[in-house]
C-alpha cells in the first residue's frame, strides 16, 4: 500500500476546528486539568507515565479524591507505568516509589480511586507504558507530560511539552474504551491497594498482556478523508505497528515541509531514511531539538555524576553527526536545525508537522525505543482544507521562541569538550561495542 492510500485508509473521527484548543504552557495545562477534574460529571481517566509524590502530584490526587467525595457515582480510573511507580527517582538511591504513597493516600481518604500499574514488559528497560491522553467526560487532554512539579510548572522550573484539548465524545469514548480493554485482572494490578504482587509472579501474565497489546486498536468512528478535518487515534507497540507506519508514511508524502520535534535525537533507521529521501525530493526539513542542558537527564558540573548523565551528550553527538553528513542541505537552508534552550528549564515536546495538512501529536520520542519497545500512542490531525492553520502555526511559533537555528555542526561543539566522566563512559561503550545496543533502548 502506498503512503497516500495508507493515510487515507486510517479510521478517523470528524472534527470542527473549534473542537481543538492548544494550551500555551504547562501552567495553563495544570489549571485546565484541575478545573476539568473538579467539574467532571461521569468519568475521569488519567493516563500518565507517572503520578509523582510531590506538591503537583498531591494537588492532582487531592482533586481526584475531592471529585469522588462530591459525586460518589463518578467513575475514576488512573493508569500509570507499573515499574515507574514501584521505584524511586533515578540516581536518588533506594526509595519505596510512588506506590507506597498511593496506598497511604487511599487509607487516609477512605475512598475508592483506583490506580492501576501497567507493566508493558517483564523489565522496565525493555518497555514502559508511554500512552498519553486523559479523558474527562467528553473531553480529551492530550500531552506528553507526566504529573509532577516540573511538568506542571508548580514552582519556578518547567518542562516544556505540547498541550491540546479535544472536545469530542467519539474521541473520548475511543480512548477511554482502549484503556478499559488494556486493563487485566492479573497483569495490571492495583497500586493503591496494600501488598501489590511482586513483578516476578506476574511474568507469564505480562508476556500474555504484551501479546494482547499488539492486537489492540482504537475503535474509532470512521470519517472519509477529504471531507473536512478529522483526528485519527493511533496505537503502537512493537515493530511495524500502526503508529510507526503512520510516522513513516507522513514523511514519505511530504512535498513542501516537514517539522520534527523531539527532546532526544536518536532517530530509528526508518525515520532517518525517510528524512534523507525527503531532502532528496527537495522538501524543507526543520528539526527542533532540546539543548543538552535542557535535557531532563542533564547533570550540571559539580553535581554527583551518574551514568544517565551521559545521555544528553550522546544525543548531542548523534545530532552533530547528522548535521555534518548533511552539511550541504544545512548550508543551503533546506535543512534547519533549531536548538531549544530556556536556561533553567527543560524540553520534552514531541511531534511532527507535514506540509499544511498533517499534525501529529504523540509522546513517542521518534527513537528506537519508542518504535520497538514502549507502548505508545498518537493523535493525527488531518486537515485537508487547511481550516486549522492559525492555531497550528501559533504553536510552532511558540516552540521556536527559545530555539534559534544553528548554521553548522560546529556550533554543537566537539566531543573533546565533554566532561571527563562523560568522555570516559562513552569511550567504554564504543570500545565494548555496546553503543549500538544502548541506542536501541534509549
Q: Which strands, in side-by-side order, build the sheet including 134-136?
A: 20-22, 163-167, 139-143, 134-136, 43-47, 75-81, 115-118
Considering 153, 154, 164, 348, which one is annotated as catalytic?
A: 348
Burial of 19 (0-12, 13-18, 19+ CB in 10 A): middle
Q: Annotated catalytic, 376? A: yes
Q: Is the dihedral of CA 399, 402, 406, 412 positive or negative?
A: negative
Q: Annotated catalytic, 348? A: yes
CA separation for the pair 221, 13 (Å, rounded): 5
Residue 76, all three cell numbers:
475514576
Considering 130, 153, 345, 418, which one is annotated as catalytic?
A: 130
For 214, other C-beta atoms within 10 Å of its C-beta total: 14
Q: Which of 83, 12, 10 is nearest to 228 (CA)?
A: 12
Considering 81, 376, 382, 383, which one is annotated as catalytic?
A: 376
Quote the distance between the C-alpha of residue 185 and its chain's center. Answer: 26
Residue 139, all three cell numbers:
473531553
Contact (Cβ atoms closer than 8 angstroms) between residue 288 and residue 403: yes
Residue 270, all three cell numbers:
526508518
Q: Annotated catalytic, 130? A: yes
Q: Annotated catalytic, 316? A: no
Considering 153, 154, 161, 383, which one is annotated as catalytic?
A: 161
Residue 202, all three cell numbers:
506476574
Residue 441, all three cell numbers:
533502548
Contact (Cβ atoms closer than 8 angstroms) between residue 337 and residue 284: no
Residues with catalytic roles: 130, 161, 348, 376
Amino acid at each position: 500500500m502506498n503512503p497516500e492510500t495508507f493515510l487515507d485508509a486510517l479510521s478517523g473521527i470528524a472534527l470542527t476546528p473549534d473542537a481543538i484548543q492548544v494550551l500555551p504552557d504547562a501552567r495553563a495545562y495544570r489549571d485546565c486539568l484541575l478545573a476539568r477534574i473538579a467539574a467532571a460529571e461521569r468519568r475521569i481517566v488519567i493516563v500518565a507515565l507517572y503520578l509523582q509524590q510531590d506538591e503537583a502530584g498531591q494537588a492532582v490526587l487531592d482533586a481526584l479524591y475531592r471529585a469522588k467525595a462530591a459525586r460518589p457515582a463518578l467513575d475514576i480510573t488512573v493508569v500509570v507505568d507499573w515499574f515507574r511507580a514501584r521505584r524511586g527517582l533515578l540516581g536518588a538511591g533506594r526509595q519505596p516509589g510512588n506506590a507506597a504513597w498511593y496506598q497511604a493516600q487511599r487509607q487516609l481518604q477512605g475512598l475508592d480511586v483506583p490506580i492501576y500499574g501497567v507493566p508493558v514488559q517483564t523489565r522496565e528497560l525493555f518497555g514502559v507504558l508511554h500512552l498519553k491522553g486523559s479523558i474527562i467526560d467528553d473531553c480529551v487532554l492530550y500531552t506528553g507530560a507526566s504529573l509532577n512539579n516540573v511538568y506542571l510548572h508548580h514552582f519556578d522550573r518547567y518542562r516544556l511539552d505540547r498541550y491540546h484539548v479535544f472536545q469530542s465524545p467519539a474521541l473520548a469514548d475511543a480512548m477511554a474504551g482502549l484503556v478499559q480493554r488494556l486493563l487485566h485482572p492479573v497483569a495490571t494490578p492495583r497500586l493503591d491497594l496494600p501488598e501489590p504482587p511482586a513483578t516476578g509472579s506476574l511474568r507469564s501474565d505480562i508476556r500474555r498482556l504484551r501479546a494482547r497489546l499488539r492486537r489492540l486498536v482504537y475503535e474509532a468512528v470512521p470519517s472519509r478523508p477529504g471531507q473536512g478535518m478529522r483526528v485519527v487515534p493511533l496505537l503502537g507497540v512493537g515493530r511495524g505497528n500502526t503508529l510507526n507506519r503512520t510516522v513513516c508514511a507522513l514523511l514519505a508524502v511530504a512535498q513542501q515541509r516537514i517539522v520534527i520535534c523531539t527532546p532526544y535525537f536518536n532517530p530509528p533507521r526508518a525515520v532517518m531514511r525517510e528524512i534523507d529521501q525527503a531532502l532528496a525530493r527537495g522538501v524543507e526539513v526543520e528539526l527542533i531539538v532540546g539543548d543538552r542542558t535542557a535535557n531532563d537527564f542533564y547533570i550540571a558540573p559539580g553535581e554527583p555524576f551518574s551514568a544517565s548523565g551521559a545521555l544528553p551528550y550522546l544525543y548531542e553527538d548523534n545530532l552533530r553527526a547528522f548535521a555534518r553528513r548533511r552539511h550541504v542541505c544545512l548550508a543551503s537552508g533546506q535543512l534547519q536545525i533549531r536548538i531549544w534552550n530556556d536556561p533553567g528549564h527543560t524540553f520534552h515536546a514531541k511531534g511532527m508537522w507535514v506540509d499544511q495538512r498533517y499534525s501529529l501529536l504523540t509522546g513517542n520520542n521518534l527513537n528506537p525505543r519508542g518504535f520497538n519497545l514502549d507502548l505508545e500512542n498518537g493523535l493525527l490531525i488531518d486537515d485537508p482544507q487547511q481550516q486549522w492553520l492559525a492555531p497550528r502555526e501559533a504553536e510552532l511559533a511558540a516552540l521556536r521562541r527559545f530555539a534559534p537555528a544553528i548554521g553548522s555542526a560546529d556550533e554543537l561543539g566537539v566531543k573533546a569538550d565533554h566532561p571527563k566522566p562523560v568522555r570516559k563512559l562513552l569511550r567504554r561503550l564504543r570500545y565494548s561495542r555496546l553503543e549500538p545496543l544502548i541506542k536501541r533502548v534509549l
